[in-house]
A and B are shown apart, each in its own frame.
Chain A
Amino acid sequence: MKTTRGRIVIGAILAYAVVFVVLGIAVDRAFYIPLVAVAFIRPLLRESGLLSDRDERQISVSHRSSHIAFLLTMALVAMLFIKKTVVDLEEPGLLLSLLLFVPLLVKFAAWQFTSRGRRRAALGIGFAIGGFWLLFSMLAGDFNPQLLVGGLPLVASLLALRWERAGGAIMFGLGVFAIYFFGEMSLIVVLLLPTPLILAGTMLLAGGGRDQDEDQSEEEEACEPQP
């Protein structure tokens, strides 16, 4: 199904590619890097609903093949990670760690937001990160002030159950604090702790209780007797 918008998008992508190829040839080869986007612009536009040039079967086939590719890629990366860390007893390195953790994080977040909605997903991420952080704080030793800090995302999540924006603001603040706190440790820690907190906090702040009302109306509908 070729739509006018689809043709415009293809034209824009071609123009974008030509510009960066020319810049790559004439100015600097670093201009080839943005060409990576050419491969992902259309799928991203489709996922965001801005481009509808495929019917439901084509989308279904595309999703299934992407899922298979994701599983196989992750299996391969996980095997490399295990070989490096368990068999060779070496540090996995930044690149391999990013290849393993970033897709898993994105998968988890996308699954949460797709299946549970914005508010519940944000709370789920808050509780998961809070629990994770608290567990590691406890493993660090006996009772110490760090334990209290580790429990704060959990407190923010609990607060957000009743006061969404207040909980979201604390979660966002904790994320920013965590970047400052863990920033020098490694990119992986920053990806695992602060980034999801900032994301969840932003979602709670941006929503301001709209989904809560939707959740309640769903529950009310479920309670109504069927005719």
Chain B
Amino acid sequence: MEALLRLEGITKTFGGIVALDDVDFEVQAGEVHALIGENGAGKSTLMRIAMGVHSADRGRLLWKGRVVKLQTPRDAHRLGIRMVHQELMLIPQLSVGENIFLGCPPSRRAVFSWVRWNDMYERARQLLQGLGHDLDPRRPVSELSVAEQQLVEIARALAFEAELLILDEPTSPLSEHETERLFQTIARLKARGLSVIYITHRMRELYQIADRVTVLRDGRRILTAPISETSPEELVRAMVGRELKDYFPERESRARGAPILRVEGLTAPGRFSDITFTIHRGEIVGLAGLVGAGRTELVEALFGAREYTSGKIFIEDCPVTIRTPADAIRHGLALVTDDRKAKGLIPMASVRVNVILPVQARVAHLGILVNARAERHITERLLRELRVKTPSADHPVMVLSGGNQQKVVLARWLAVHPRVFLMDEPTRGIDVGAKMEIYELIRRLAAQGTAILLVSSELEELRHLADRILVMHRGRIVGELQREEATDDRILYLATGGEG
């Protein structure tokens, strides 16, 4: 059968560095083809070539059997190839319908026509319904959840009669429930004969939706196979190139230490209410819930970055007032934020500055004069400890890969020696290798007595790491599961509003 899109012998180098080395890749009509690999494996470059963003040094593209040359994304769009990027490209002030038809409102005459608003909204509604959603096309995009915004992007691709849709890690910002719905949407697309290239880091998803899978590593294609003929172990091995027996090594529950952080009746109207829990020394407590359940708001309030109206926070049984992150740090708290680009790193500053920020005043002479020697010493020790790959500590942090950037964020907080470590999606959007190192680190910190509150949308991660799991739903803690009783079903049941 003729492939819809075929990339043959694609080679691409950037200034002497080989990003892709003789890669073959093809998508059949009506197929969901998963593309996996660690960061830097070449997935993005390959897709950029398929989108006409980059041109290959060698190799060719075939669309329905004909050789094509793509110079710009417009060329790809004209053929019917569309990509939904991780960073959604919608205009928040405009409505759903306007975004769907952006650049090409449906009109009758070719040269000039008024925008036919009613037609446009009607067509937008039909498109969304065809995807199984009844989203009001007149709502401004700024009011939508990330999942709904994705849907708008997909509808937009359909409006332009795409035949091939490239989804770049679409589920990383989604909750489990939203992920399920996205999969249903993808199934509908497939039933209509559309092809999907699905880029992901998550092993489990592949088996739910993919027909075939291709693994890239270091710019080479390692394998392509029907998903039914592969095992997760095989795929992980292909991705990392080594044996990974202990993806999640077992961790025995240990006796609890003394209570260290206690929260009583914490409330911020509209965000979360009546939050009460305790975390003990050396304990890893998971915080599960759907996106929008109030988890990020809660941890940021604990860290003094958001306001709360009532409730008390105790550290080692002393009531404390935390109004700013500086207060929180003083009381021994640390926070890894859910969005390292927007809230974590200072991109143009050096790795050293990014690591040292919270403790710079502590190591400074007279509390104000920068003590470069001490800073270098601390930074280099932490970079070694976390195995951060960087040309030097003085390079800007933005040149590092996602996984290494995340390690820089973690290093920053290790410098503080926190008693309570709040982690909001600490492994979001990073590759398997870096993930495992971060899991290791979390366990090691717990073993050393640090209390950890782990917010995660990956249930697998929570089940394997946490001693117990708190589940939030609509701003309230609706249940607590011990490690032994925590199954995906139980967590999801509580998170979607089922009774404990």
- Are A and B subunits of one complex? no
